[in-house]
């Protein structure tokens, strides 16, 4: 799935990951929320890197037609902040800063 951004108040330099410089509780996240009014499916996907704490966390929440919620979350061991490949079957890659991302 490819997501096109329409408006962003930050520049391309704000996209992607940043150096965490050893700050113990550093957290950097990327997330997308979405809704399809035709299928009545909505959701949120998020990857949060916490290299100082030694893990990356992944969350996927779907609001299904009729209002039921499907949710999955998990953590993998990780000590870097190089990208948003969160394990648990979710990767988010910024392909064109402030414009396009691949969510797989």
Domain assignment of residue 91, yes or no: yes
Q: Is residue 78 part of a domain?
A: yes
With 60 as the cut, is the pLDDT of residue 5 above it?
no
pLDDT, tens digit, 9 for 90 and up, residues 50-73: 999 999 999 999 999 999 999 999
Count of structural domains within the chain? 1
SS3 assignment for the chain? CEEECCCCCCCHHHCCCCCCCCCCCCCEEEEEEEEECCCCEEEEEEEEEEHHHCEEEEEEEEECCCCCEEEEEEEEECCCCCCEECCCCCEEEEEECCCEEEEC
Residue 64 belongs to some domain of the structure:
yes
pLDDT above 70 as % of the chain: 92
Residue 38 domain flag: yes
Alpha-carbon distance 25 to 72, whole Å?
A: 23
Give domain status of residue 86, yes or no: yes
pTM over 0.85: no
CA separation for the pair 72, 84 (Å, rounded): 17
Instruction: Tell me which residue range forms the domain holding 70.
Output: 2-15+25-103
Q: Is residue 20 part of a domain?
A: no
Q: Is residue 32 part of a domain?
A: yes
């Amino acid at each position: 799935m490819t997501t096109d951004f329409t408006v962003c108040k930050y520049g391309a330099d704000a996209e992607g990951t940043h150096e965490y410089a050893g700050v113990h509780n550093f957290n950097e996240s990327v997330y997308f929320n979405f809704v399809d009014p035709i299928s009545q499916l909505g959701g949120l996907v998020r990857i949060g890197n916490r290299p100082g704490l030694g893990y990356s966390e992944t969350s996927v929440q779907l609001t299904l037609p009729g209002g039921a919620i499907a949710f999955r979350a998990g953590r993998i061991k990780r000590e870097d902040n190089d990208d948003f490949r969160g394990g648990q079957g979710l990767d988010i890659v910024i392909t064109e800063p402030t414009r396009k991302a691949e969510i797989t």
